[in-house]
Amino acid sequence: MIRRISMLMTGAALGAFAMLAVFQSTGLSQNANAAGSETYRQLDIFGDIFERIRSQYVTEPKEEKLIKDAINGMLQALDPHSSYLDLKESTSMREQTKGEFGGLGIEVTMENELVKVITPIDDTPASKAGVLAGDLVSEIDGTAVRGLSLQQAVEKMRGLVNTPIELTILRKGADKPLKIKIVRAIIELKSVKFRVEGDDIGYLDVNGFTEKTLSGMEAAIKKIRDQVPEDKLKGYVLDLRLNPGGLLGQAIGVSNAFLNRGEIVSTRGRQKNDVQRNNATPGDLTRGKPVIVLINGGSASASEIVAGALQDHRRGTILGTRSFGKGSVQTIIPLGGDNGALRLTTALYYTPSGCSIQGKGIDPDIRIEQPLPKELQGRVEARGESSLRNSIEGESQDDSGSGSFAYVPPDPKDDVQLNYAMDLLRGLKKDASFPPNTDDVTSGNKNCKRA
């Protein structure tokens, strides 16, 4: 995971890849009502305007782009997360949800209009070719990076497996730019990373919810238990900071890994009877060990489902700062042939207590701020769902809004939130919210506007 500032804009995390919407593969449950005569009159107006732009605008426009922009304008007026995905964009989303793609194997961010390498992933084409952390990519196959967005640059670096690419790299200490040729390969994204902290705490870092997240979580917990004797293991830290979301089913599966029973999440659509509930099944993989969940303003969507479920069932203590507050579900609707897909908001999700966190977010049980480094102070602002243009107003939303700063220091020694959590697990610090009071498990719609 890129442990830098995460600026959440229109539901996308600025990092190595764009935010994945929580989505279901179901179709539409209700047929739309037939359009009336007024609707057709308005469509005639649209057709007239399109034809006048096409034939009379001062420079000849691209018709395909005009139509795509018109469609996205209509969708973005609904909410920040509905959009039209052309064939290339819908293919890219499928790759991200599968957790693998053809690429180089580098985690990147943007710095001074250049792509900066955070780290090359071990045993990938980039690391084998000699790309180093801190390298600045100035050109991709001869095309200047300046003027490109991070997402556009990432798309240029991805491509078909076994195809070559040349990066022009500016490296500190080198007297001239370096030309590095790399052959793309299948890159598998690890959405779950883990380690043993000290010799008594299991640390689980979930940076997204792809098709492989649950299996990665199961494998990580097993390896931690293999390394640490049961009587010595103090508990787990589940780190969901800077986690922009992903697949709804995977969020349910990860929640289920810590629960034995009870509702995990419900989704409610346009019609009153359009309600789906997802419940836990017996089999807590951690065998009841204490769990502390870390969240911040970069925790959105699917990660909020997990945090909300563990909080409401008093299975875990939530520590950090208020989450992003994206409580909507996007359904991906294929449009057939090469027409791409429609990403449409079709439901809102609710925590087990019946609370919508849309525009509100998850409030931590223990609020611990992570100080921003001096170079970021005054240059970034806390953002959340409630501050996005055309955001759906949630039932629990209030004037305080949602979100908070989304920063995690690269060195764990500087990680105030993580170290506080480990001190709680080891008994070096005390707090009334840890361990959580299981006599107060939420049932029904109580106090959704949390203090």
Residue 21 lies in a domain: no
Rounded to whole angstroms, how far apart are CA atoms 158 and 124?
Answer: 13
- Give 277-340 as a DSSP string: EEE--S--TTTT--EEEEE-TT--THHHHHHHHHHHTTSSEEEES------EEEEEEE-STTS-
Residue 50, pLDDT score: 94
Could you tell me which of 242, 393, 403, 247 has the C-alpha nearest to residue 325?
403
> DSSP character for 210?
-
Residues 241 and 275 in one domain: yes
SS3 state of residue 30? coil
| Catalytic residue list | 301, 312, 326
Residues 428 and 282 in one domain: yes
Residue 345 lies in a domain: yes
Residues 223 and 315 in one domain: yes
In degrees, rounded to 5, the angle at the alpha carbon of residue 19 between the alpha carbons of residues 14 and 22 is 160
Residues 117 and 237 in one domain: no
Residue 9, pLDDT score: 27
Residues 114 and 223 in one domain: no
CATH number, domain containing residue 184: 2.30.42.10
Residues near 111 by beta carbon (within 8 Å), at least 6 away in sequence: 136
Residues 126 and 275 in one domain: no
Residue 448 lies in a domain: no
Identify whether the C-beta of residue 19 lies closer than 8 Å to the C-beta of residue 300.
Answer: yes
Which stretches of 8-125 are assigned E, i.e. beta strand? Answer: 8-9, 12-13, 23-24, 83-85, 100-103, 106-111, 114-120
Residues 118 and 256 in one domain: no
Rounded to whole angstroms, how far apart are CA atoms 448 and 395?
Answer: 9
SS3 state of residue 263? strand
Boundary (domain end) residue, out of 188, 218, 239: 188
Rounded to whole angstroms, how far apart are CA atoms 319 and 322?
Answer: 9
CATH number, domain containing residue 430: 3.90.226.10
Prediction pTM value: 0.80
Residue 35, pLDDT score: 66
Domain extent, residue 117, equals: 100-188
Q: What is the pLDDT along the chain (451 residues), one digit of tens a residue?
A: 334 443 332 233 322 233 334 444 444 444 556 667 888 899 999 999 999 999 999 999 999 999 999 999 999 999 999 999 888 788 777 776 766 677 898 878 788 889 988 888 878 899 999 999 889 999 999 999 998 888 788 888 988 888 999 999 999 899 999 999 999 998 777 889 999 999 999 999 999 998 899 999 999 999 999 999 999 999 999 999 999 898 899 999 999 999 999 999 999 998 888 899 999 999 999 999 999 999 999 999 999 999 999 999 999 999 999 999 999 989 889 998 888 899 999 999 999 999 999 999 999 999 999 999 888 788 778 889 999 999 999 988 888 889 999 889 889 999 999 999 999 999 999 999 999 988 767 544 455 643 2
Residue 432 lies in a domain: yes
Boundary (domain end) residue, out of 149, 165, 188: 188
Residue 444, pLDDT score: 45
